Amino acid sequence: MKPYSDRGKFPERTENGNVIDLDSGKFVKLWQGPQHPGVTGNMSLEVIISGDEVVDLTTHVGYLHRAFEKLIERRLYIQSFPLVCRICVPEPDTNEYGYAAAVEELAGIQIPEKAAWLRTLTLEMSRLTSFLMWLGGQAGAFGLGTIPQWCLAHRDYMLDLFEELSGGRVYHMYIVPGGVRDDLPRGFARRLEDVLQKIEQVMSDIELALFSNAVFKRRAVGLGIITRDMIDEYGIVGPNARAAGIARDLRKDQPYLIYDKLSFEPVTADFSDAYTRTLVRYREMEQSIDLIRQIMAGIPEKGAIHVRPPNVLHWKIPAGETYVKAESTRGEYGYYLVSDGTAYPRRVHVRGPSYTHAVVLLEHLALNTNIADLPGLMVSLHTYPPEIER
């Protein structure tokens, strides 16, 4: 469905591709971002429009490059823990888990069972926190101002719980090599349940306010359609792929930690556009709430939460390489760790799902959309720049 059919002749399509001649007066080149409220995080889009239709888009990243992978090579294994969680700000625990699990695997450390439960708990809590922030952004990108207020206020309740658990609101550094840092505080289960009920309540409001909102429906349905053939070609993972009907969830396919003891099914839909992706993520929030309840019901009362690693200041890890991945809110998030037997890692590569979503996929999906829908499209892919440039 092309809304402006009379603009179909711009750009002229030839065998060698589209002819975009900026001097012809038919096109305008715009830069969206990095100083632009509609762009997720700090990145920029070089957009060429004809009328208000996007005919070409190039993503520019690198504004947040802190050279994490270089710095990790200069740090002891234990010194890198404060660094890795800063790669992804809304969801640091996936990074902590990925790095810790990779180090443990090469060092041959088995974590105690209770630590695995606690890690799963923090991973699910951070998924819920990240989704709450994202849902606010998605609604805000389509001009609904109330929902971000609800979402961010309720995200703060989760942050309070994180603060109680780990001492930090945003960066937790709770998952350490050998287990987790601390046990659950007394009365944590009750306070967590209170917060979950609050979130459930606001989510039922959001469902009414967002999914039956005429503006949201008109703008999000049909925006940025991902077909099934594109999934493997572009390397699409996570909710973006699940919305297209591909039930791929690392928690189910390659269960890590204690995900094989929890009962859940990957949320899927059959048609991946911005509206469905929002719906899938919304259902995954409900799933996370359910999983947190299952974890709190099954978590062992007693038990070790931490095995002591060798003296971390002299910690040499046997040579080897491994790749550990986890399902973050955006899909497969992985750590590739190469050790050469010294106290410093030889190489750590961080694989973030936005690497494909925000660059090649966005450049493809943005074509022929309306420029006003670009922020909504970006948010619906849940792109997050720091994991692209690290």
Partner 1 sequence: MEQINELKARYSISDSRDQRPDLGFITVDPGRLAALLAELQQVRGYTHLSFITAVDYPETGTFQLTYMVHNFESAHSLGVRTVISRDTALMESVHHLWKQAKTYQRELKEMYGIDFPGSPGVDDPFILEGWQGPPPMRRDFDTRAYSEKTYFPRPGRKTSDPRRHMQSRLYPDYTPFEEET
Partner 2 sequence: MHNKETLPNLGLPEHERDLFCDARPRVSKPLASYIEKFLNWSRANSLWILAYGTGCGAIELRPLFTARFDISRYGMAPRPTPRQASLLMIGGYLSVKTLKRVIRSYEQMQNPKFVIGLGSCTVNGGMYWDSYNTINRLDHYLPVDVYITGCMPRPEAIIAGFEQLKKRIKDGRAEGANQYAEQFDWYKANQKKIITDWNMPDYNW
Name the residues that contact partner 1, by CB under 8 A: 61-62, 65, 67, 69-71, 73-74, 76, 79, 105, 232-235, 237, 248, 253-254, 313-314, 320-323, 325, 332, 334, 336, 338, 342-343, 346-347, 349, 351, 355-356, 359-361, 364, 389
Binding-site member from 86, 198, 248, 351 for partner 2 (CB under 8 A): 86
Specify which residues 351 forms β-bridges with.
Answer: 334
**CB closer to partner 2 out of 151 and 295:** 151
The DSSP bridge pattern shows strands 331-339 and 320-328 to be antiparallel
Biggest alpha carbon–alpha carbon distance for the chain: 73
374, interface contact from partner 2, partner 1, none, CB < 5-8 Å by kind:
none
Site for partner 2 in 328-387 (CB under 8 A): 386
Of the residues 114, 127, 155, 281, which one makes contact with partner 2 according to CB under 8 A? 155
Nearer to partner 1, 62 or 303 (CB): 62
Contact present, 206 and 151 (Cβ < 8 Å): yes
Task: Determine the length of the chain.
Answer: 390
> Binding mask 17-56 vs partner 2 (x if CB under 8 A, - otherwise)?
-----------------xxxx---xx--------------
CA distances from 215 to 83, 91, 137, 146, 150 (A): 41, 30, 15, 14, 19
The answer to whether residue 143 forms part of the interface with partner 2 (CB under 8 A) is no
Q: Total binding residues for partner 2 by CB under 8 A?
A: 34
Q: What are phi and psi of 373, to 5 degrees?
A: -90, -5
Q: Which amino acid is at 271?
A: F
CB 352 within 8 A of CB 381: no
Q: Which does 254 bind (CB under 5 to 8 A by kind): partner 1, partner 2, none?
A: partner 1
Q: Is 171 in the site for partner 2 (CB under 8 A)?
A: yes
Buried b (16+ CB within 10 A) or exposed e, 124-145: bbbbbbbbbbbbbbbbbbbebe
Q: Cβ 109 to partner 2, closest distance in Å? A: 26
Report the residue from 9, 13, 65, 347 that binds partner 2 according to the rule CB under 8 A: 65
3-state class (DSSP) for residue 65:
coil
CA distance 137 to 380: 9
CB of 269 to partner 1, least distance (A): 18
Of 224 and 385, the one with the shorter C-beta distance to partner 2 is 385
H or E, element range at 160: helix 146-166
Asked if 169 is part of the footprint of partner 2 (rule: CB under 8 A), the reply reads yes
Query: From partner 2, partner 1, none, which one binds at residue 198 (CB under 5 to 8 Å depending on kind)?
Result: none
Q: Which secondary structure element, helix H or strand E, spans residue 180, and what is its range?
A: strand 179-180
What CA–CA distance (Å, rounded) separates 221 from 1? 12
Contact 345, 107 (CB under 8 A): no
* Least distance to partner 2, CB of residue 355, Å: 18
263, 297 Cβ separation under 8 angstroms: no
49 vs 102, which CB is nearer to partner 1?
Answer: 102
Residue 126's H or E segment, with its range, is: helix 113-141
Rounding to the nearest 10 degrees, give the CA dihedral for residues 344, 347, 348, 353: 170
**Min CB(199)–partner 1 separation in Å:** 32
- Name which of 71 and 304 has its Cβ closer to partner 2: 71
> Among the candidate windows 13-21, 70-78, 240-248, 327-335, which touches partner 2 by CB under 8 A?
70-78
Binding site for partner 2 (CB under 8 A): 34-37, 41-42, 62-67, 70-71, 74, 82-83, 86, 89-90, 133, 136, 148-150, 152-153, 155-156, 159, 169-171, 386
